[in-house]
Structure 1
Amino acid sequence: MATVEITAETFEKTIADNDIVLVDFWADWCGPCKMFAPVFDKSSEEHGDVVHAKLDTDANQQLAGALGIQGIPTLMAFREGVLVFNQAGALPAKSLEEVVTAVKGLDMEEVHAQVAAMKAEDESAAS
C-alpha cells in the first residue's frame, strides 16, 4: 500500500477506520524529514496491512499543536484507535521495522484495559 497524505480533516477518520496507522508528521523544509521519507515509503510497500500516512505540519498547524508535535519528523503509531507509539526524530529502516513489528504484536485487550483503568483513575481524581 502506498503512503497516503492526510489532513486535519481526514486524521480522525483515518485512525478510526483502520486497525494500524503510522503517521509521519513532516514539513517540506525539514532535512531529516526528507531523509526519513524513503524509509517510510519502503515500509508502506512492505506492510500492506498497515496504513502509512503523512501529515504536513505546516499545512495542519492547529492539529500538530493539539497533538503536541514539538519536533519533526515525529512518528506516531495507532492501533485500534489508541496511540501506542510516539517519537520525534528520523528512524533508520531497522528501527521502523521494529516499531511496526511491536505494534502488530501488541495484546490489544490488555492495552484497552490499561486505557480504561487510566481513564477511570483520571475521572476519580477529577471528582
Structure 2
Amino acid sequence: MPIWHAIWRDAFVRASFIATVLTASPAIAASCPLLSVEDLAEKLPAADRFEFETGMLRPFLALWAQHHDAPLAAPPDGVALFAFRGRPLLIAFRRAGCLVALLPAEPAELWQALREHIGPIA
C-alpha cells in the first residue's frame, strides 16, 4: 500500500467518523460543524473538482466497498471528486453538503468501477 494511501486513510477515517457523528441530526447537519465539502475544496485550491449526484453514486459506493469492509456511516447524496495532476484522486462523499467520508483512489480504479457500473466510457 502506498504511503499516501495510509496517510489519507488514517487522517480522514477519524475526520469522517467525527463528521458523521456530529451531523446525525438534521439541525446540526445544516451547519456542518466539522467540515463541509466546500471547506475541503477551499483547502485544496490546486485540485480540479467534479460533482456527481445520486444517479451516479453506484460506482463510487462500489469503490468504497473494495477498500473498506464496513459501509459508509451515513448514506451519501452525492460525491465531489478532487483531481490533482500526477497524484491520486480524492473522493469526498457528502450528505447535505457535509463531508461523510474521504477515499483516495487511483484513476485506473475509478475507471474500472465506472466501466463495471455504467458500461464502456471511452
Query: What TM-score does the superposition give when structure 1 sets the normalisation length?
Result: 0.29
TM-score, normalising length: structure 2: 0.29
Larger Rg: 1
